[in-house]
Structure 1
Amino acid sequence: MSTFDVAAGAIRRDETVEIVLLLAFAGGYIDAYTWIIHGVLANAQTANVIFLWVHAMGGEWAKALHFVPPILAFAVGIVIAAWLRRVAAERASALSVLLEILFLITIGILHNRLPDLAGTLGISMVAAIQAAMFVKVEGTMCSTVMITGNMRQFIENLFAIVCGGAPLGSLRKSVIFYALCAVFGCGAAAGAFATKTIPDLALGIPVVALLIVLLRCEAPRSQEGK
């Protein structure tokens, strides 16, 4: 993957703030979509596992089994991401985004005929691929599919700034992680609104966000070829 200079050093294109924020928007959007349409979470497998066992312990086996497919689909998505890293190396990030786009388009087409299979399974695989492939912003660990770790990073950096003696770049990191949390929430709000108002076309919005990510990931490589 090509790199370019950001602030003090070379940053991978797929670790830039622009790309990570777009992915966070898509992550929040997709989670809202799957929760409203299917009653499961595409990204937050912790919640799916909790709901599974809460219903299982109450003897509600049908409700418990409802949360198994997205968990298994997420696992398959992680395997796909690992395979892409092995066979595609520096092109893995861009190829993973292309795969996400193709999955979402396919889900949108099949959704009326096979809603559970196309939605729950397909979107969980999309979420898993994104979670496994995009794990850093400007060299620091982050998540584009949930906000727990990002919120911790924001609070820790802000605390270090307030108490004094914060490492260089703490303010920038704090702002970035706050932005990740905010954009994820905006994505969830947009996903909820679109899913309720234009359910048949709702998945088009994250596809547009991912297309921009794909173009930005490939832009430096295109420029090098000139």
Structure 2
Amino acid sequence: MDEESESLILGTLLALSGGLMDAYSFILRGHVFANAQTGNILFLGIYLCSGQWEQVLHYLFPVAGFTAGIFISELMHLSRLRPVHWKQTILAAEAFLLLLVPFIPLDLFANSLTSFVCGMQVQTFRKLKGHPFATTMCIGNLRSGTVSFVTWLCRKDHRHLRSAAAYYYVILCFVAGAVLGNALAPVTGLYTITGCSLLLASSWIVLHFQHRRHVLDELDQF
């Protein structure tokens, strides 16, 4: 199922979810980044220096949650759970956990759980059409897309142009997710995060049918 999980449609849904999660945590949950842990660590250092310990915890917990998400995802990867593929298990877990977030009153714990989900996602889905990419942050995609574009300019190999287009497309999907989160926040409030659950559930369905089609294609070859 590794090849199926690198499809453009799955990358689209996951990038939309990533942007929406970041918008939710920043707009509605105390200006914390669910995905961009560099920003959280920056603020953590600033408040640590000034001795504002409540704010230190405000940013430390999401970083810890993100790290725990990576840990759990890789543990499940190495365990290779059967019969349900581990990536489908991760998507189901993400969708379920985000449904709990609106009912957590304290931003500290709500952000930690959201970042935990982001950590699982960024560790689980790391390729798009064979190229390294991320669905929960943009800096790596921006670098890789620009490098591919420059390579195309120099070598005129259209494979690199297609690669650059895919990276920039994923960035646009992330931005679209953030725009969606910003538009929904005044209307749906803390329940805005359930939009991510819907996107992740859709990702599970896409991955399931792509895997099923792949299995049927393999059987047809015999």
Rounded Cα–Cα distance in structure 1 between residues aligned with 2:126 and 2:211: 21
Are 1:61 and 2:32 matched, yes or no? no
Q: Which region of structure 1 is more displaced relative to structure 2, 181-190 or 203-212?
A: 203-212
1:57 alignment partner AA: C
- The 1:60/1:195 distance shift into structure 2, 3 A limit, reads same
Rounded Cα–Cα distance in structure 1 between residues aligned with 2:59 and 2:191: 25
Would you say how many aligned residue pairs link Structure 1 and Structure 2? Answer: 213
Give runs of aligned pairs for residues 67-216 of structure 1, distance below 5 A. Answer: 67-88=59-80, 91-108=85-102, 110-111=103-104, 114-116=105-107, 118-162=109-153, 164-216=154-206
- C-alpha displacement at 1:168, in angstroms? 4.8
Q: TM-score, normalised by structure 1?
A: 0.87
Are 1:47 and 2:39 matched, yes or no? yes
C-alpha contact 1:105 1:207 (8 A) present in aligned 2:
yes
Structure 2 segments unaligned to the other structure (5+ residues) = none
- C-alpha displacement at 1:201, in angstroms? 2.8
Query: Greater share of helix residues, 1 or 2?
Result: 2
1:50 alignment partner AA: L
- C-alpha displacement at 1:37, in angstroms? 1.9
Question: Per-residue CA shift, 1:15-72, capped at 9, x if unaligned?
Answer: 1111011101100110010011222111111111100001111232222221111011
Question: Per-residue CA shift, 1:67-101, capped at 9, x if unaligned?
Answer: 11101111111111012102235811111000100
Rounded Cα–Cα distance in structure 1 between residues aligned with 2:16 and 2:211: 25
C-alpha contact 2:133 2:141 (8 A) present in aligned 1:
yes
1:219 alignment partner AA: F
C-alpha contact 1:49 1:67 (8 A) present in aligned 2:
yes
Rounded Cα–Cα distance in structure 2 between residues aligned with 1:221 and 1:42: 30
C-alpha contact 2:17 2:177 (8 A) present in aligned 1:
yes
Rounded Cα–Cα distance in structure 2 between residues aligned with 1:117 and 1:62: 10
C-alpha contact 1:136 1:143 (8 A) present in aligned 2:
yes
Q: TM-score, normalised by structure 2?
A: 0.89
- C-alpha displacement at 1:204, in angstroms? 2.2
Are 1:14 and 2:5 matched, yes or no? yes
Superposition CA RMSD, Å: 1.9
Rounded Cα–Cα distance in structure 2 between residues aligned with 1:179 and 1:221: 24
- The 1:178/1:220 distance shift into structure 2, 3 A limit, reads closer
Rounded Cα–Cα distance in structure 2 between residues aligned with 1:119 and 1:193: 20
Rounded Cα–Cα distance in structure 2 between residues aligned with 1:67 and 1:97: 25
C-alpha contact 1:157 1:166 (8 A) present in aligned 2:
no
Percentage of identical aligned residues:
24
Aligned structure 1 segments of 4 or more residues deviating by more than 6 angstroms: none
Structure 1 segments unaligned to the other structure (5+ residues) = 3-11
C-alpha contact 2:4 2:211 (8 A) present in aligned 1:
no
